[in-house]
Amino acid sequence: MAGTAVAACSTNPNGGSASTGSGAATTLNVWFHAYGEAGTQQAALRYAAAFTKANPSIAVKVTWVPGDYTTKLNSTLLTADAPDVFEYGDFDEGFATSGQIAALDDIYGDTRSDFNQNDIDLLTAGGKIYGVKSLDDVMMLYYRKSALAKAGITPPRTFDELVAAAKQLTTKDNKGLFIGNDGVGDIPTLAVWSNGGDLVDANGKAAFASPKAVAAIAGLKRLHDDKSLLLGFTTDWWDPSALVQNVVPMQWGGLWSMPAIKTALGDDFGVLPWPSFTAGGTPAIRVGGWTSMVNAKGKNVDAAKKFVQWLWIQQTDLQRDWSESYGFHVPPRKSVAAAADKLKQGAAKETVDLAAKYGRTYPGTWDNSVSTAFTAAATKVITGQGGDPAQVMAAAAQQAQAEIDKQRG
């Protein structure tokens, strides 16, 4: 890692590792979810050690959390073992309104304008910024060029074309499309966006029961009816194995998988947004990622803010390493993204360009309770479990609205 000296790390019996520094008066507990990309845990440990070398009075314990990270985090935040710094997928506005996380406007300084404005907007609640994005994750549709060409199929630009392609590419041995082991995954949200709908509108109202949203969600049932979806694979959609092992010719996945896909397939793959529900509509790309937050109820708030500022604002070389060296991710800082050479060519550049044009993010109120209500209802509609789709989604929207109102007091 150019320009950064790294101190030693020692194993911690509580599931993490602590950077060592003589005279460290404070030890921060910093939580990461268990990334799937090789080398990520080692990188996090190196970053922690480099921080302690630069700030000898603050040691950092990296806690690497496998399994259901969100559930483990939410339960631990209620205890004395709560982390000082933790990452969170996307953003949960409820953390801010409940006073769980600290506002971080002061650590941005004059770098604020160098961050992707969509990320700043996402992390803003009540006029304050409550986190720093560590990476932007882009999710899109991969396809095997040779498989589609052999079948005489043009890469699908509308949902009708996707349904037809998936059906045509399905054989007695293979399915045409993989969107998740349950046949649902993240796709209902993309369907809503691709038909001009919203999940939650600008006024904080659950909007996914609108006629356009319901029509798009109900349309996904066609993929199940055609039996063209791969179900119950050995890994889920975020792992590229189904595509690279030639189990399916089309798979929803993430930019992070592109290096592995290119290694396996060379140039025999392309990328697409989730297609528009109707001709002339707007396709959708999901932009998620992880955000570093400071526990406002912890004992080391100032030291925690110093760590987040050092790593995710000041250390642009480490930010670039984090985004380019362990799978591909888009750096949230514009200047760092502009210097990310691996994202400037081929399918990676095409993906970044698609994200800039069609990228959508979950609203800050899209917490577990809201998303669960939506996904459960959408799954019922998509898999044909009964009930009028409009009524099923309306009931879910009512349930979600109660949770949104609770979040906002």
- pLDDT at position 407 is 86
CA distance 386 to 188: 17
Residues of the chain below pLDDT 50: 1-16
Full-model pTM: 0.88
What distance lies between CA 109 and its chain's CA centroid?
26
- pLDDT at position 99 is 95
> Strands 270-272 and 9-11, how do they pair?
unpaired
Domain 138-286+362-407, CATH: 3.40.190.10
pLDDT tens digits for range 103-159: 999 999 999 999 999 999 999 999 999 999 999 999 999 999 999 999 999 999 999
CA distance 378 to 396: 9
- pLDDT at position 22 is 55
- pLDDT at position 21 is 54
CB 244 within 8 A of CB 260: yes
User: Where does CATH 3.40.190.10 sit in the chain?
Assistant: 9-137+288-353, 138-286+362-407
Superfamily of domain 9-137+288-353 in the CATH hierarchy? Periplasmic binding protein-like II (3.40.190.10)
